[in-house]
C-alpha cells in the first residue's frame, strides 16, 4: 500500500505543520484529561473513605462485643446505603453488594481500609472495605471481627471526567484553524525565497545572464542564494568570454576568406591554364599538376563555404524569392550533376513554392551528394505534401548514421571519423543546408530508417 503525500512544497509544509500541531494538542489534551481524571477519582475516593471512617467511628464506641444483629444494623445504618456489615455468621445489608472476594481477603489480611473500583452493569462503583477495630484501655487497637463494605456510585465523577475529555478535544479542535493559519504564514515566509530562486533560475535558463536573486538573512536559503548568484556570475563570465571568442573566430574566418578571394581567383585562372597544358606533360608532372588543380578547387570550395557561413552568422544572407516548381528544381539539380541515372525520383507534380532557387539547389546537392558518397544505392528522392508543409526526403540504403553521430550531423566541421580528415567536402555542407532551410522558414532533419539514412527537408506551404 502506497501512502499519499502531497507533492508541492507548500502543501507538504502545511500538512506537516498541521499534523505536528494536532498531535501536540491531542497529546497535551490527553495528558491533561488523564491527570485531571486521576485527581478527581483520588479526591472522591479520599473524601468517601474519610466519610465512611468518620461514620463508623461515631458508632463503634457504643457497640457491645461480641455484637448482635441489632448492633450490626445500627452500624450499617450509620454507614449509609449500599453497605454490608458482617460479623462471623451475622450480616446486615442494604442495597447493592459489589465487594469482590479479593477485596474481602485484602481487608482481612491487611486489617485496614482497602478500596476497589468495579462496574456493575454500566454503573461504576467505588467499594470501600474496612474492619472495625477495638481500642483497649491501653490504646491498643485490635480487629473486632466486624467488617464493613460500602459501595458508592461514581457516575457523577465519570461524567465530570467525560466533560474534561470533551473540553480537551474541543480545545484541540479550536487550535486547528490557528495551526493552519500559522502554517500558511510559515510556508509563505519559507517559500518566498524559494520562489525568487525559481524565477532567477528560469530567467537564467531563458538566457538572461544578468538575473540575480537578492539573499535575505543568514540561513541556509540565503547561503543557497549566494551560491546560485556566484554560479550565475561564473557562467556569465564564461559565456561572455566564449561569445567574444566565437565573434573573433567568425570575424577571422570572414576576413581570411575575403582576403583569399583575390589570390584564389588568380590561382584558379592559373590552374585552368595548367589543366589545359597538362595533357602534354610528362606523367609525373601531369600527376602533380592534377593534384594541384584538385586541391585548388577544394580550397576554392572551402573559402566559398566559409564566406557563406559568415553571411549566415552576420545575418546578411538574403533570399531571392521566385516561384519554383519543386519537382522541376530537384530534377534540374540531379541533371546538372549527372546523378539522374543514380537517383530514383518520386516527385509530386504541381507543387510551386516561393523559394530561392539557388539556395534550394545547394540544399538538394548536399543531401543527394552525401547519400551517394556515404550511403549505398538505390538513393531515392521523394517529394510529397504533409499538412501545411512540403517534404523532400532523400533516402539511401547504406549502413545509416551511427547513433553517436546523429546529434552532430549538422555541426560545422564535424567528422564522424576523426581519422578521415581528407574527405572531399569542407565539413560545412550540411550546416549550410540547414541554415538555408531555416532561412526559408523550414527545417532539415536526419534519421535512420530501415536499411539506410534519411534526410527530410520541410518547407512551409505559405510561400506557395
DSSP state of 378: P
147 or 142: which carries more pLDDT confidence?
147
CATH 3.30.450 fits 9-164, yes or no: yes
Spatial contact of 151 and 49, defined as CB atoms under 8 Å apart: no
Look up cell 540504403; give the residue: 397
Domain pair 212-317 / 319-460, same fold: no
pLDDT tens figures, 306-356:
888 888 888 888 889 999 999 999 999 999 999 988 999 887 778 899 999
pLDDT attached to residue 198:
86
CATH 1.10.3470 fits 212-317, yes or no: no
Alpha helix segments (H runs only) across 278-338: 283-314, 326-336
253 or 89: which carries more pLDDT confidence?
89
- What's the mean per-residue pLDDT of the chain? 83
Asked whether the predicted pLDDT for residue 209 surpasses 50, the reply is yes
pLDDT attached to residue 381:
94
**Sign of torsion over alpha carbons 163, 164, 169, 174:** positive
Q: Is 25 exposed, middle or buried (0-12, 13-18, 19+ CB in 10 A)?
A: buried
The band of 432, judged by pLDDT with boundaries at 50, 70 and 90, is very high
Q: Is 3 exposed, middle or buried (0-12, 13-18, 19+ CB in 10 A)?
A: exposed
**Sign of torsion over alpha carbons 58, 63, 69, 72:** positive
Percent pLDDT > 90 in the chain is 18
> How far is Cα of residue 302 from the mean position of the Cα atoms in its chain?
49
> How far is Cα of residue 163 from the mean position of the Cα atoms in its chain?
47
Single out the residue of 319, 303, 296 nearest to residue 441, CA to CA.
Answer: 319
pLDDT attached to residue 418:
55
Burial 50-67 (b: 16+ CB within 10 A, else e): eebeebbeebbeebeeeb
Q: Where are the domains of the chain?
A: 9-164, 212-317, 319-460
Single out the residue of 150, 179, 194, 161 nearest to residue 55, CA to CA.
Answer: 150
pLDDT attached to residue 464:
42
Asked whether the predicted pLDDT for residue 279 surpasses 80, the reply is no
* Cell numbers at 277, concatenated: 597544358
Q: What is the CATH number of domain 319-460?
A: 3.30.565.10
Measured between alpha carbons, how far is 107 from 212 in angstroms, rounded to an integer? Answer: 83
Q: What is the mean predicted confidence (pLDDT) over 232-242?
A: 89
The band of 10, judged by pLDDT with boundaries at 50, 70 and 90, is confident
pLDDT tens figures, 393-422:
999 988 888 888 888 889 887 766 555 455
The band of 294, judged by pLDDT with boundaries at 50, 70 and 90, is confident
* Cell numbers at 4, concatenated: 499519499
Asked whether the predicted pLDDT for residue 89 surpasses 60, the reply is yes
The band of 362, judged by pLDDT with boundaries at 50, 70 and 90, is very high
Amino acid at each position: 500500500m502506497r501512502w499519499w503525500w502531497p507533492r508541492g512544497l507548500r502543501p507538504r509544509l502545511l500538512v506537516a505543520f498541521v499534523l505536528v500541531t494536532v498531535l501536540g494538542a491531542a497529546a497535551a489534551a490527553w495528558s491533561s484529561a488523564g491527570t485531571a481524571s486521576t485527581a478527581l477519582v483520588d479526591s472522591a475516593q479520599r473524601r468517601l473513605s474519610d466519610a465512611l471512617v468518620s461514620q463508623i467511628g461515631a458508632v463503634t464506641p457504643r457497640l457491645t462485643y461480641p455484637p448482635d444483629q441489632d448492633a450490626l444494623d445500627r452500624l450499617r445504618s450509620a454507614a449509609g446505603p449500599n453497605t454490608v456489615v458482617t460479623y462471623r455468621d451475622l450480616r446486615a445489608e442494604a442495597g447493592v453488594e459489589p465487594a469482590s472476594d479479593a477485596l474481602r481477603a485484602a481487608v482481612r489480611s491487611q486489617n485496614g481500609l482497602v478500596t476497589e473500583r468495579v462496574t456493575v452493569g454500566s454503573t461504576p462503583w467505588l467499594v470501600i472495605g474496612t474492619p472495625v477495630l477495638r481500642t483497649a484501655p491501653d490504646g491498643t487497637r485490635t480487629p473486632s471481627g466486624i467488617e464493613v463494605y460500602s459501595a458508592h456510585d461514581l457516575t457523577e465523577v465519570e461524567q465530570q471526567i467525560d466533560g474534561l475529555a470533551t473540553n480537551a478535544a474541543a480545545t484541540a479542535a479550536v487550535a486547528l484553524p490557528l495551526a493552519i493559519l500559522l502554517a500558511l504564514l510559515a510556508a509563505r515566509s519559507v517559500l518566498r525565497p524559494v520562489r525568487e530562486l525559481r524565477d532567477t533560475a528560469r530567467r537564467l535558463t531563458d538566457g538572461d545572464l544578468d538575473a540575480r536573486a537578492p539573499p535575505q538573512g543568514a540561513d541556509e536559503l540565503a547561503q543557497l542564494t549566494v551560491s546560485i548568484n556566484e554560479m550565475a556570475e561564473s557562467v556569465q563570465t564564461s559565456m561572455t568570454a566564449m561569445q567574444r571568442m566565437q565573434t573573433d573566430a567568425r570575424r577571422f574566418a570572414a576576413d581570411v576568406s575575403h582576403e583569399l578571394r583575390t589570390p584564389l581567383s588568380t590561382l584558379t585562372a592559373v590552374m585552368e591554364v595548367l589543366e589545359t597544358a597538362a595533357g602534354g606533360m610528362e606523367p609525373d608532372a601531369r600527376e602533380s599538376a592534377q593534384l594541384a588543380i584538385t586541391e585548388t578547387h577544394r580550397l576554392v570550395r572551402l573559402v566559398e563555404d566559409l564566406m557563406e557561413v559568415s553571411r549566415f552568422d552576420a545575418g546578411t544572407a538574403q533570399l531571392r524569392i521566385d516561384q519554383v516548381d519543386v519537382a522541376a528544381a530537384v530534377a534540374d539539380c540531379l541533371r546538372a550533376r549527372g546523378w539522374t541515372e543514380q537517383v530514383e525520383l518520386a516527385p509530386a507534380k504541381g507543387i510551386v513554392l516561393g523559394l530561392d532557387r539557388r539556395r534550394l539547389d545547394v540544399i538538394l546537392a548536399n543531401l543527394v551528394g552525401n547519400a551517394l558518397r556515404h550511403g549505398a544505392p538505390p538513393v531515392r528522392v521523394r517529394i510529397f505534401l504533409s499538412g501545411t508543409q512540403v517534404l523532400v526526403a532523400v533516402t539511401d540504403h547504406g549502413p545509416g548514421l551511427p547513433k553517436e553521430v546523429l546529434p552532430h550531423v549538422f555541426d560545422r566541421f564535424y567528422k564522424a571519423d576523426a581519422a578521415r580528415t581528407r574527405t572531399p567536402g569542407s565539413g560545412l555542407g550540411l550546416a549550410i543546408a540547414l541554415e538555408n532551410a531555416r532561412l526559408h522558414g523550414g527545417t532539415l532533419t536526419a534519421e535512420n530508417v530501415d536499411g539506410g539514412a534519411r534526410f527530410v527537408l520541410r518547407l512551409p506551404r505559405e510561400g506557395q
